[in-house]
Amino acid sequence: MLSTRDLKSLPRRWLALLVMASSVTLVGCAGSDPRNEPAELTQYAPTVSLGVGWRVPVGSGSSYGFAPAIVGDSVFAASLDGKVARIDANQGATVWNRQVAPSLSAGVGSDGQTVAVVTPKGEVIALDANGDEKWRAQATSEVNVVPWVGEGVVVVRSGDYRVQAFNAANGDRIWSVQRPGPALALRAPARMSQLQGLVLAGMPGGRLLAIEPGSGAVVWEGIVAVPSGASDLERVNDVVGIPVVRGDLLCAAAYQGRVTCFNAKEGGRTVWANNLSSIVGIGADSLRVYALIVAIGSTPTN
């Protein structure tokens, strides 16, 4: 070991080399710390074998505003080029396929009796169970969210931060609910759902509305996430995907925000929340909530 006197007698260039060698040695020791090694991946044996039961063409093109609706033994689906179809879910046979518009921006919502889709200009088109047109009505702006149909109404969420309901029988507008919106909103998959007779609509700005479908009354309003950041882009905080319902528990996710679960029986009381960012929403079973996390943007620590 070199003493202080020995170090002072060394030429400067030798002393510099000695310091560099010591640094390399220290880095090498730190790199060999087993605590820094990645955990071994868990191997899962497949327990289910999946295969295609049937395949039926509907039309051409799709987007985030489209999703099939399954009601009983029927599957209702639409395509970007303006076609709507009803398919027998057991046999995969097309019951009917209708060209309703040159193009569509969202669909399909259905309760089995009314089938609803929307054009890029915000025109809501309703068909009956046989594929015949019932009515057309105009939303206040463009619609890129799948309509919700039930309880005698067709509900759409438009780009001007409104949730609107039309009479499923004749297309008359029944009510409209609007919330202040952020400067920017996300174009991402979003769906409405139902819980305890209420329509659940996720909104830009991290809000989740529980609306009485007959009157438009907002029974309760939950905060999934609070926008955070210095710029409008950082504050984009839309509720994405479809709200997940498990018993009295309702969970939803927000982009650049959180996954939050509410107790719907207790007026939307927050049960728990976890910071993360998702662009497609969440899924759940009886024990866990699953989220696909994205690395786009920042995750606030609100």
* pLDDT above 70: percentage of residues in the chain: 85
- The number of beta carbons lying within 10 Å of the beta carbon of residue 219 is 16
Of 124, 151, 178, the domain-final residue: 178
Residue 104 neighbours by CB under 8 Å, 6+ apart? 66, 78, 79, 80, 81, 82, 84, 117, 118, 119, 120
Q: How many domains does the chain have?
A: 2
Q: Which of 53, 67, 50 is nearest to 104 (CA)?
A: 67
Q: Are residues 150 and 83 in the same domain?
A: yes
pLDDT digits (tens, 9 = 90+) for 268-299: 899 999 998 888 888 988 888 888 776 544 43
Q: What is the pLDDT of residues 110-167, one digit of tens each?
A: 999 999 999 999 999 999 999 999 999 999 999 999 999 999 999 999 999 999 999 9
| pTM (2 d.p.) | 0.79
Q: Is residue 22 part of a domain?
A: no
pLDDT the model gives residue 3: 52
The tens digit of pLDDT for each residue in 189-202 reads 889 999 889 999 99
Q: Considering the domain boundaries, does residue 224 fall inside one?
A: yes
104: containing domain: 57-178
CATH number (domain holding residue 222): 2.40.10.480
Q: What is each CA distance from 38 to 27, 30, 106, 147, 187, in whole angstroms?
A: 18, 15, 44, 45, 36
pLDDT per residue as tens digits for the range 89-113? 999 999 999 999 999 999 899 999 9
Co-location of 105 and 172 in the same domain:
yes
| 205 shares a domain with 105 | no
SS3 117: strand
Q: Let me know how many helices (H) and strands (E) the chain has, helices first.
A: 2, 22
pLDDT of 1 strictly over 70: no
* Boundary residue ending a domain (178, 194, 229): 178
